[in-house]
């Protein structure tokens, strides 16, 4: 008889126990959860075998919120209790959200910070709570399918989501009991699902037409780093508008009878069903039962439907053109990815292929591609592929800095810096005997505080009374892997300290980000030259300082003598240049050195994440990797 193996007490019987990680696409209309199964990313289904969970929550019953199609069914009877499209309200203030609220007829309240809350018959609910209820259902589904605890999750967000919107998403996940490994941009997730991160370089356009929103993103991949070159779109354009166009046409066809709101909703649902069938068939019958007392059907051909939606599709292409312009591409697009249920409409695919002059990638279901990419990334982050794939890095979309005397902005973390990152800078007092310092954190590309967005204020007290300029105050900006910012200030002689995690009250819309970026480009010049020198010096100095401590920590173990020399030689040269006035030379050399040390940075990042996952918590990541 064969002997059975028994593990030592307290030890796992499996040699390499894999961890359970999931990817979640928390969509405006629909949400999905995916995980690696038998070596491939797969969507997890509910008990009925359904993949998509409508992102709808009903709060009529205070004890038990209903999520998904059950909630959707109550939308007609309990409109104010049935929250749809809550993603539009995440991390946003009442002021920003007023238009969306009107469209969706919600009764809004607001919290102390001015953030949106919904009035329901079970009391007030925040968009974060509603999103948490959706995430909880997906979490449960994952537990039921995977049959064990979930070690971590990657949640996707639109590329244009700003700090408060990302923070809100993370809070929702935490409320739902999930450990967030990382937030990931939706277009990046789609690119990963197609395996495009395996290439060295590439420019990728991601065309995402969902239920209520259209997003276009241009990404550039460079050695495992996805940079978002530009984002654009229309936050009020999607498959719902296709349904409305078809419903209105049907209404005209039956002689425009006046319909009660319930009947109109029924007509829209029928139009949606007909639309979805038309993606595969040349003609279908639109069902009028529940719309007209007599019931019946109307015949709709694909041609009629295409004529109705043609102008809507054109609007998406106008946004694509603008986004391509913003991206200032010097190379052509290598790949186009289709995301979102509405890209199933054949005319949408044709129009996009025509616009970009090449066929889009479409091997993966457009509803599922984002969740699948998130699952792949989650699997890597949780540590299941220690030898394999490199980690993807993201960049911050807008520069972060603080206000200095004269209302000027000192940028501390420049736009497009890869995250996580930690940057420090020293400041000093302005007046003799000054014992407190007001730190004002701003976001944006402009030189003056008034032209940037204010994120947060805090004060550092207890500075010993000294002459102006004598105190040494170190301000440290840390941006974690999700793009969330923590700022601390410390007076070096006394060690007095203050810090803040930035969680500002109002979110930015994608339009606002675009406007801020455009404004900064058009106002360039003027005071720029002196500033440029200062900035180049600072960048050079920061890189040097970073590399020095990185080399001390890991230079011997991770690099060969030859590779080390390739970094230290230009370092010495840069050190000398920093004394001079030649901004261009400093920039060129800093960039060169940056490229020279990129592989080293990636090696350190991998090492540190492996170490972190081996025991330490992910939170210590920033401190370990960066300096
Ligand atoms: P979101 O990202 O906003 O959550 P989805 O990507 O799930 O949205 O897309 C939902 C939209 O896709 C709906 O308008 C739905 O009607 C549409 N859709 C789904 N399947 C089809 C299909 N076969 N043909 C046309 N539209 C479809
Ligand atoms: Mg989507």
* Residue 224 · residue 390 · CB < 8 Å: yes
- Cβ of 345 closer than 6 Å to ligand 1, yes or no, is yes
| Ligand 1 neighbour 164 (Cβ under 6 A) | no
Phi, psi (rounded to 5 degrees) for 359: -70, 140
Greater confidence (224 vs 409) lies with 409
Cα–Cα distance measured from residue 397 to residue 419, given in angstroms and rounded to the nearest whole number: 11
Name the least confident of 350-354, 417-421, 531-535, 571-575: 531-535
Beta carbon of 186 within 6 Å of any ligand 1 atom: no
Region 323-332 average pLDDT: 85
Residue 6 has pLDDT above 50, yes or no: no
Ligand 1 in contact with 597 (CB < 6 A)?
Answer: no
Q: Domains in the chain, start-ordered, CATH in brackets?
A: 21-238+309-395 (3.30.420.40), 239-308 (3.90.640.10), 400-508 (2.60.34.10), 525-613 (1.20.1270.10)
Find out whether the beta carbon of 117 lies less than 6 Å from any atom of ligand 1. no
Q: How far is the CA of 210 from the centre of ligand 1 (A)?
A: 5
pLDDT at 70 over 70: yes
Q: How many residues does the chain have?
A: 627
Looking at residue 523, its pLDDT comes to 54
Ligand 1 atom having least distance to the Cα of 240: 14
Ligand 1 centroid, distance to 238 Cα (angstroms): 8
Q: Of residues 442 and 318, which shows the higher confidence score?
A: 318
Nearest-angstrom CA–CA distance, 552 and 548: 6
69 band by pLDDT with thresholds 50, 70 and 90: very high
CA of 32 to the centre of ligand 2 (A): 9
Q: What is the pLDDT of residues 285-296, one digit of tens each?
A: 999 998 888 889
Tell me how far the alpha carbon of residue 441 is from its chain's centroid.
21
Residue 233 Cβ < 6 Å to ligand 1: no
Is a pLDDT exceeding 80 seen at residue 277? yes
Bridge pairing between strands 21-26 and 152-157: parallel
Contact 94, 127 (CB under 8 A): no
- Ligand 2 centroid–CA 549 distance in Å is 42
Distance 187 CA to ligand 2 centre (A): 10
403 sits in which H/E element: strand 400-404
Please check whether residue 215 is in contact with residue 514, taking contact to mean a CB–CB distance below 8 angstroms: no
Tell whether the model's pLDDT for residue 524 goes beyond 90: no
What's the pLDDT score for residue 405? Answer: 74
Taking the CA of 158 as reference, the closest ligand is 2
Note the pLDDT tens digit of each residue in 349-398.
999 999 999 999 989 999 999 999 999 999 988 877 754 554 555 667 67
- Our mutation pick for probing the ligand 1 site, out of 211, 271, 350, 365, counting the most ligand atoms within 8 A of Cβ, is 211
For residue 546, pLDDT over 70 is answered with: yes
Quick one: average pLDDT of 33-47? 94
Structure tokens at 207: 């065309």
Pick the ligand that lies closest to the CA of residue 157.
2
Enumerate the active-site residues.
25, 87, 186, 208
d(CA 338, CA 346): 12
For residue 209, which atom of ligand 1 is closest to its CA? Answer: 6
CB of 279 within 6 A of ligand 1: the answer is: yes
Check if 54 has its Cβ closer than 6 Å to any atom of ligand 1: no
The rounded Å distance from CA 236 to ligand 1 centre is: 14
158 lines ligand 1 (CB under 6 A): no
Nearest CA to ligand 1 atom 10: 211
228 contacts 217 by C-beta, under 8 angstroms? yes
Using the mean position of ligand 2's atoms as its centre, give its distance from the Cα of residue 188 in Å: 13
**How many angstroms separate the alpha carbon of residue 463 from the centre of ligand 2?**
50
Question: Atom 7 of ligand 1 has which residue's CA nearest to it?
Answer: 30
Ligand 1 atom 24, closest CA: 276
Q: Which of 312-326, 495-509, 610-624 has the lowest mean pLDDT?
A: 610-624
Q: Whose CA is nearest to atom 22 of ligand 1?
A: 276
Q: Which ligand is the nearest neighbour of the Cα of 371?
A: 2
**Predicted pLDDT of residue 198:** 80
Q: Is 220 in the pocket of ligand 1 (CB under 6 A)?
A: no
Cβ proximity of 170 and 482 under 8 Å? yes
Task: Provide the strand spans (E) within 429-554.
Answer: 437-443, 453-460, 473-479, 485-491, 497-501
Q: Which atom of ligand 1 is nearest to the CA of 366?
A: 6
Q: 3-class SS at 618?
A: helix
Nearest-CA residue for atom 8 of ligand 1: 210
Instruction: Return the minimum-mean-pLDDT range out of 53-67, 147-161, 588-602.
Output: 588-602
Q: How far is CA 573 from CA 508, 565, 577, 599, in A?
A: 42, 12, 6, 20
Cα 187 to middle of ligand 1, angstroms: 17
Does 27 contact ligand 1 (Cβ within 6 A)?
Answer: yes
- Does residue 595 sit in helix, strand or coil? helix
Q: Which residue among 157, 341, 348, 373 is best mutated to probe the pocket of ligand 1, counting the most ligand atoms within 8 A of its Cβ?
A: 341
Contact between 100 and 89 under an 8 Å Cβ cutoff? The reply is yes
DSSP string, 63-121: SS-EETHHHHHTTTT-GGGEEE-GGGGTT-BHHHHHHHHHHTTPPEEE-TT-BEEEEET
This model's pTM is above 0.85: no
- Residue closest via CA to ligand 1's atom 12 equals 341
pLDDT of residue 4: 46
Q: Is 349 in the pocket of ligand 1 (CB under 6 A)?
A: no
Ligand nearest to the CA of 348: 1
Q: What is the overall mean pLDDT for the chain?
A: 82
Mean pLDDT of 504-513: 45
CB of 340 shorter than 6 A to ligand 1: yes
* Least trusted range by pLDDT, from 9-13, 204-208, 239-243, 307-311: 9-13
Convert the pLDDT of each residue in 449-507 to its tens digit: 888 888 888 888 888 888 777 888 888 888 876 667 888 888 887 787 777 766 432 34
Name the band, by pLDDT with cuts 50, 70 and 90, for residue 136: very high
Atom of ligand 1 lying closest to residue 339 CA: 6
* Cβ atoms of 196 and 202 closer than 8 Å: yes
Percent helix, strand and coil across the chain, each to the nearest 5: 40, 25, 35
């Amino acid at each position: 008889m064969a002997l059975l193996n028994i593990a030592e007490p307290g030890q796992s019987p499996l040699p390499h126990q894999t961890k359970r990680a999931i990817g979640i696409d928390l969509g405006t209309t629909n949400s999905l959860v995916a995980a690696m199964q038998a070596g491939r990313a797969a969507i997890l289904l509910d008990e009925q075998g359904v993949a998509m969970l409508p992102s709808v929550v009903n709060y009529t019953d205070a004890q038990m919120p209903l999520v998904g199609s059950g909630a959707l069914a109550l939308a007609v009877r309990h409109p104010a209790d049935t929250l749809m499209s809550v993603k539009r309200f995440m991390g946003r203030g009442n002021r920003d959200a007023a238009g969306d609220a009107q469209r969706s007829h919600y009764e809004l309240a607001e919290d102390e910070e001015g953030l949106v809350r919904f009035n329901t018959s079970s009391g007030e609910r925040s968009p974060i709570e509603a999103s948490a209820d959706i995430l909880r259902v997906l979490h449960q589904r994952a537990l039921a399918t995977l049959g064990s605890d979930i070690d971590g999750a990657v949640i996707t967000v639109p590329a244009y989501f700003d700090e408060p919107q990302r923070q809100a998403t993370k809070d929702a996940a935490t409320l739902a009991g999930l450990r967030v490994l990382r937030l990931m941009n939706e277009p990046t997730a789609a690119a990963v699902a197609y395996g495009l991160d395996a290439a060295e370089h590439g420019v990728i356009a991601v065309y995402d037409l969902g239920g209520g929103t259209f997003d276009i993103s241009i990404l550039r991949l460079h050695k495992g780093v996805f940079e978002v070159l530009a984002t654009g779109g229309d936050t009020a354009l999607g498959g719902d508008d296709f349904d409305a166009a078809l419903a209105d046409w049907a209404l005209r066809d039956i002689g425009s009878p006046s319909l009660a709101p319930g009947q109109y909703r029924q007509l829209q649902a029928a139009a949606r069903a007909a639309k979805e069938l038309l993606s595969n068939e040349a003609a279908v019958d639109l069902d009028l039962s529940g719309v007209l007392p007599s019931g019946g059907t109307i015949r709709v051909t694909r041609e009629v439907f295409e004529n109705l939606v043609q102008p809507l599709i054109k609007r998406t292409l106008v946004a694509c053109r603008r986004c391509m312009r913003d991206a200032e591409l010097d190379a052509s697009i290598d790949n186009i990815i289709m995301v979102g249920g509405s890209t199933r409409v054949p005319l949408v695919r044709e129009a996009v292929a025509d616009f970009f002059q090449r066929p889009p990638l479409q091997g993966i279901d457009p509803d599922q591609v984002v969740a699948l990419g998130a699952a792949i990334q989650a699997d890597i982050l949780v540590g299941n592929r220690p030898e394999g794939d490199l980690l993807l890095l993201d960049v911050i979309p807008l520069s972060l800095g603080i206000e200095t005397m004269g209302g000027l902005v000192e940028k501390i973390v420049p736009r497009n810096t890869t995250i996580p990152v930690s940057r420090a800078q020293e400041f000093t007092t302005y007046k003799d005997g000054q014992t407190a310092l007001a730190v004002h954190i701003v976001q944006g590309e402009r030189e003056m505080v008034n032209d940037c967005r204010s994120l947060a204020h805090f004060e550092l007290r207890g500075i010993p009374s000294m002459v102006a300029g004598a105190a040494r105050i170190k301000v440290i900006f840390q941006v974690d892997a999700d793009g969330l910012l923590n700022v601390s200030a410390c007076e070096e002689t006394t060690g007095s300290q203050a810090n803040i995690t930035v969680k500002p009250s109002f979110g930015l819309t994608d339009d606002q980000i675009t406007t801020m970026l455009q404004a900064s480009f058009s106002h360039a010049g003027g005071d720029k030259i002196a500033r440029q020198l200062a900035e180049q010096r600072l960048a050079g100095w920061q890189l040097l300082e970073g590399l020095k401590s990185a080399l001390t920590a890991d230079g011997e173990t991770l690099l060969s003598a030859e590779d080390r020399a390739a970094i230290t030689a230009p370092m010495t040269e840069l050190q000398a240049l920093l004394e001079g006035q030649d901004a261009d030379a400093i920039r060129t050399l800093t960039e060169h050195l940056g490229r020279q040390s990129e592989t080293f940075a990636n090696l350190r990042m991998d090492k540190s994440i492996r170490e972190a996952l081996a025991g330490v918590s992910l939170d210590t990541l920033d401190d370990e990797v960066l300096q």
